[in-house]
Amino acid sequence: SGLATTTSRAASVTRGDARTDGTARQTGKGNSVASTRGTWPERYEKLERARKIERAQAIQNGEIQDPDKPRALSEAITPVGKCMDMCAEYERVERVVQKDIWAEETDPNTSAYTTLDREPDEARMVKKFRRSAAGIEEQLPSDLRPPLVLQKTCDYLFNEVIGNAIDIAKVHHFVWDRTRAIRNDFSIQQISDADGLRIAIDCYERIARFHILSLHQLALSEPPYDKYDWQQEREQLDRTLLSLVQYYDDSRGKVKLVNEAEFRSYLIIFQLQDPIPDLEDRVQTWSPHIVQHPRVRKALRLYAAACNTKDLQGPLKPGSAHVVAQQDWQRFWNLLHSPRTSYLTACVAEIYFNMIRTMALQGLLRSSNQRSLSGEYTIHEMISILALNDVEELETFCGSFGITLTPETGGERYVDFSGLKGRQTLPNPVTALPKQMKTDLVEAKRFGRSFPAVINRMSVKDAQGAGLLIPGEDDTMGDIVDDGTANARDAEQAEDVNAGDSLFMPETATPQTKRAPQLQGFLNQNAPFASTKAPATEAQVSLFSFGQPATAAPMFGAPSPGSTLFAPKSTDSTTSASKFNFLAPAAKEETSKSAPAPESNGFGFTAVPANLGPAKSAAFGGSSFASSATPATDPKPAESTLFAGNNGASTQSQSAPSFS
């Protein structure tokens, strides 16, 4: 099990043991040769005496704070690290004496009965995370590692420890603890120079990818090892991302932030169940080139498709339903199936898969009575609808809501909703659902890349060139393209043909023509919600329109075809476009004129063909998300908005993927 290799205990050291001479093996991997000689206790006594002298000298030189002389916050001293090893010699010797050697810090070439009976290898030892607490002295400059050493430590942890591990669960707890110590060293030193910021950002980005990867890989039915806790993993990821965003803001104009869009896209997905829906305010503070980046645009579409009305939101109590919720589970799955959705993006989205599955079950329950649903969906179709791995997971997930599977009688098995007779909403789960479940849909996007390749953001092509593809797992790669190629195609082809879905108002104003003003409100019975704005032509409708209806026959009342939720005041002159429309799509594809127009149901949704299984009965009354009313050959659904959103599954262009 993972416990044997992640425990922090060490075998007892007795007189006569080979390790009591204090001459631990030095493999040359990371740390320098010991400066002291003798047995471990003798070395510890020497280093303890030298440490007292060093602390007094550091206080005298103003390198650290004098604990006996309080200072104002404005006079606080920022220490500068001087330790050139992954772990300071004092800590190495101290932990050997205190029997606090981890299995990853022992020499694997020495013979021993157990892993913990091996000799400690000082070259493999990495600084351990220690919480600040009362009574613990401030760290000395010789305890803190400068940015270059911290980067070297990250290289060792991700490339050597994880790269050589049989299973990431075997070394996860060790790497998890040591990366916390790395972040702590960065935080204490308050790096502000350009070179240091560049290194700090690189380390934080890789640490964040490690946590995202771990959340997916360790989301198993049974805990991968005794000390693993999903909530703590998520907490450390949140803290890492928070610090990383602060580094982005502090470094703007100093260093080139090549991966900012990647992590901004993760933050968008993490907003899915945020109780305060302030995503619009956040995105509008980002740079235009970040908002226009294909990764961010993809994340916004995933967010829009996954938003639901069940989770009440808002800063005030009681909360209210999300005003732009699409609840389009089928489009969410289709976006994830897209070859341009990266592996780590899918790993982040996997955290919310159970929310999407619950949304899908709720839609199926309300689409028809329980009698018709009981023999409507086979177990294989339901596995596809819920993006589960096998029948066992389906039985567990559905069973938590009182939904069962028909008995095995030699024929096809079906999902039985009869246990929910008379209900229009799903009950609360009888058994707690896991926070996350490792899904084949997500894992397929790794395409055989090793974990170090994923953490270091290597595409499949780069990993193949570096020899970091796992043999036997890369036989289904198909065409290999790098991130730059895929991102360029994303921008040129407007990968999501349903690009009309946006959370925000377009900055570019549509040209307006002269017309006689109309009465607004209920005084004009022909147009109860009409504005004085002239109707917009089809060419004037922006692909990123926040409040525009999907068709000429909207849901409520009958707003004029060109009206928006926040319609501008009428003007006699043509309104000029703004300098930059930061949410306009990077490129448009012309709609085929010969394509049949999609049908609209009673809720303003647009029915389009689905890619997940055969068409079924309507999930929300008017028409199904997988409605058969629209021919399967329809090349492109109509443009729509989030208020009159396209709840159809967008058809994805099956071009070469971006495996990043």
User: Of 612, 336, 625, 355, whose CA–CA distance to 496 is shortest?
Assistant: 336
Are 129 and 18 in contact, with CB atoms under 8 Å apart?
no
DSSP annotation of 469? B
Which band of pLDDT confidence, cut at 50, 70 and 90, is reported for residue 537? very low
pLDDT tens for residues 281-303? 889 999 999 999 999 999 999 99
Collapsed DSSP state (helix, strand, coil) of residue 541 = coil
318 upstream amide cis, omega within 30 of 0 = yes
Give the pLDDT band (50/70/90) at residue 411: confident
Q: How confident is the model at residue 348 (pLDDT cuts 50, 70, 90)?
A: very high
Does 623 score more than 50 pLDDT? no
232 band by pLDDT with thresholds 50, 70 and 90: very high
State the average pLDDT for the chain: 74
Residue 479 has pLDDT above 70, yes or no: no
Please count the other Cβ atoms lying within 10 Å of the Cβ belonging to residue 528. 14
pLDDT at 569 over 80: no
pLDDT on residue 648:
38
Task: List, as own/partner pairs, every contact residues 325-329 make where C-beta atoms lie below 8 angstroms and the sequence separation is at least 24, other chains included.
Answer: 326/501, 326/642, 326/645, 326/646, 326/647, 327/359, 327/363, 327/647, 328/625, 328/645, 328/646, 328/647, 328/648, 328/649, 329/305, 329/356, 329/357, 329/359, 329/360, 329/363, 329/625
Residue 333 pLDDT exceeds 90: yes
The torsion of the CA quartet 415, 417, 419, 424, rounded to 10 degrees, works out to 160
β-sheet bridge partners, residue 121: 25
Predicted model pTM: 0.72
* Cβ proximity of 532 and 521 under 8 Å: no
Q: What is the pLDDT of residue 417?
A: 86
Q: What is the pLDDT of residue 133?
A: 67
Note the pLDDT tens digit of each residue in 40-97.
Answer: 999 999 999 999 999 999 999 999 888 888 888 888 889 999 999 999 999 999 999 9
Residues 6 or more apart in contact with residue 316 via CB below 8 angstroms: none
Residue 396 near residue 429, CB atoms below 8 Å: no
DSSP state of 540: G
The answer to which of 136-140, 185-189, 241-245 has the lowest mean pLDDT is 136-140
pLDDT at 559: 44
Give the confidence band of 477 by pLDDT, cuts at 50, 70, 90: very low
Whether residue 265 has pLDDT greater than 60: yes
- Structure-token match 């647009």, residue found: 606
Output the pLDDT for position 123.
93
Q: What pLDDT is recorded for position 29?
A: 57
- CA–CA separation, 471 and 552 (whole Å): 55
Pick from 27, 8, 259: nearest CA to 164: 27
Going by pLDDT thresholds of 50, 70 and 90, the confidence category of residue 368 is low
Quote the pLDDT of residue 282.
87
pLDDT at residue 12, as a whole number? 32
Give the pLDDT mean for 631-640: 40
- What 270-277 contacts at long range (C-beta under 8 Å, 24+ apart), as own/partner pairs, is 270/238, 270/241, 270/348, 270/351, 271/303, 272/303, 272/306, 272/307, 272/352, 272/355, 273/311, 273/352, 273/355, 274/313, 275/313, 275/314, 275/319, 276/313, 276/314, 276/315, 277/313, 277/314, 277/322
* Bridge partners, 271 (sequence order): none
Compute the average pLDDT of residues 585-614: 42
Please give the Cα distance from 476 to 55 (Å, whole number): 59
Query: Shortest CA distance to 438 belongs to which of 509, 504, 347?
Result: 347
- What percent of the chain is modeled with pLDDT above 90? 47
pLDDT at 650: 39
Note the pLDDT of residue 366. Answer: 82
pLDDT, residue 233, reads: 97
Contact 43, 103 (CB under 8 A): no
The answer, yes or no, to whether residue 567 has pLDDT greater than 70, is: no
At 118-174, the pLDDT tens digits run 889 999 999 999 987 666 888 999 999 999 999 999 999 999 999 999 999 999 999
CA angle, residues 118, 2, 115, in degrees to nearest 5:
10
DSSP result, 95-160: HHHTT---GGGB-TTS--SSGGGSPBBGGG--PPP----TTPPPPPTTTSPPHHHHHHHHHIIIII
Q: Are the C-beta atoms of 10 and 101 separated by less than 8 Å?
A: yes
Q: Which of 26-40, 317-331, 341-355, 514-528 has the lowest mean pLDDT?
A: 514-528
Backbone angle region of 447, left / alpha / beta, with phi > 0 → left and psi within -120 to 50 → alpha: left
Band of pLDDT at residue 393, cut at 50, 70 and 90: very high
End-to-end CA distance of the chain: 31
State how far the Cα of 263 lies from the Cα of 245, in Å rounded to an integer. Answer: 8
Q: Which residue has the tokens 């964040």?
A: 208
**pLDDT of 207 higher than 60:** yes
What integer pLDDT is reported at residue 115 of this predicted model? Answer: 61
What are 369's two structure tokens? 């009575």
In the prediction, which pLDDT does 116 show? Answer: 60
pLDDT at residue 363 in the model = 87
**DSSP per-residue string spanning 395-417:** HHHHHTTT-EE---SSS--BEE-
Task: Give the bridge partners for 404, in sequence order.
Answer: 416
Q: What are the backbone angles phi and psi of residue 415, rounded to the nearest 5°?
A: -90, 130
Tell how far CA 208 is from the center of its chain. 9
Q: How confident is the model at residue 36 (pLDDT cuts 50, 70, 90)?
A: confident
φ, ψ of residue 404 in degrees (nearest 5): -115, 175
